[in-house]
Amino acid sequence: MIMVGAMAAALWGIGLIMGAPSRARWTMLALLIGAVILGHLVLPDGHALRMATGGDARFWVMLVVFGGLVAGYRNVLGRMRQRAHAVDAARQPSTNFSETEINRYARHIILREIGGPGQKALRDASVLVIGAGGLGAPALQYLAAAGVGTIGVIDDDVVENTNLQRQVIHRDQSIGDAKVHSAAEAMRAQNPFITVKPYQRRLTADIATDLFAEYDLVLDGTDNFETRYLVNETAIATQKPLIAAALTQWEGQISIYDPAHGGPCYACVFPTAPDAELVPSCAEAGVVGPLPGVIGSMMAVEAVKLITGAGEGLRGRMLIYDALYAQTRTITLKPRQDCTVCGGRGLQS
């Protein structure tokens, strides 16, 4: 055994002197051990060479097996480390994030489902929010805080005293100001690293297509069916995912309408607008103040998930929240082949 150890040391030393790679040196040692085992199998018992190399082949076989296990373990461990390093590297934000941004978005970056690439996707994304009222207010705030790079907001209304009970993005001193400018000011104050584009006007058919084309995703927080149907038609025409929500008194609902990716459109679910008497406005029926915050925040969550690819969204499902009785339920939505707006496009996807 001493002889074999000396030969192994000599081979390893020669390999080092000659600059042979590690794999070549291990190969020489493996050939040496193989030759020793072969000698034990071929030479008769008591042969001097067998006695000088341990006298029994089983020792060397066990040594080879043990060495193989150690090598296999190191190989598996190395691969796991490489994968871990690759995951860590992938989760790191782009180098052109400032240190302040990295610190700001740290809670996103450490999330496995978002990470650095997801935060970069948020920064590169553009989202259009229709309405800066009850639903738009919290959605805009959280989109800005999340670091969505470009946020557009369109609304022709001004801030009124009655809005402040629920439209938390606006302040008392903003009464009389355009909602889009009040919201834009609050978002820029919240996050100076984003771009906000306010449009102080009503969404109409003559501008909708060009406006939607500038954005990746649309959120509809309006409170009238005329605009909701226009938003839906334009989203279908421009193939933009649409996150839409609605409120009444103590109840809210939210869904993603995306026929381009197999979901129904808004008109598949609501083919015609209900009678105005059946769906009174918030001014007529009232609404509990925090409810828009709950549903509007859900809109922002769904937007973040769509942009980053995290989790499972509400495409093909509607979430209904009853705040009065603290109940939440989800119903399945399907495209309709006879839909006059999308023509059941979701069935063909």
Statement: the pTM of the whole predicted model exceeds 0.75: no
pLDDT at 225: 92
For residue 245, the cross-strand partners are 254
**β-strands 195-199, 251-257 pairing:** unpaired
Please tell me the predicted confidence (pLDDT) of residue 207: 97
Q: Where are the beta strands (DSSP E) in 140-261?
A: 150-154, 195-199, 217-220, 242-248, 251-257
Q: What 8-state DSSP symbol labels residue 131?
A: -
Q: What is the pLDDT of residue 281?
A: 72
Determine the Cα–Cα distance for residues 188 and 190; give it in Å rounded to an integer: 5
* Residue 85: per-residue pLDDT: 57
Owner of token pair 């871990």 = 84
Give tens-digit pLDDT for 291-310.
999 999 999 999 999 999 99
Q: Which helix (H) or strand (E) holds 318?
A: strand 317-322
How many C-beta neighbours within 10 Å does residue 73 have?
10
Architecture of domain 125-348: 3-Layer(aba) Sandwich (3.40)
CA distance 228 to 273: 10
For the chain, give every residue range classified as CATH 3.40.50.720: 125-348
pLDDT value at position 11? 58
pLDDT digits (tens, 9 = 90+) for 245-295: 999 999 999 999 999 999 999 999 999 988 766 677 777 788 999 999 999
Rounded Cα gap, residues 80 and 87, in angstroms: 10
Q: What is the pLDDT of residue 51?
A: 67
- Please give the chain's pLDDT, 349 residues, in tens: 566 566 656 655 676 677 667 666 667 767 767 776 666 666 677 666 656 666 666 666 676 677 667 767 777 777 777 666 555 555 555 458 899 999 999 999 999 999 999 999 999 999 999 999 999 999 999 999 999 999 999 999 999 999 999 999 999 999 999 999 999 999 999 999 999 999 999 999 999 999 999 999 999 999 899 999 999 999 999 999 999 999 999 999 999 999 999 999 999 999 998 876 667 777 778 899 999 999 999 999 999 999 999 999 999 999 999 999 999 999 999 999 999 999 877 666 5
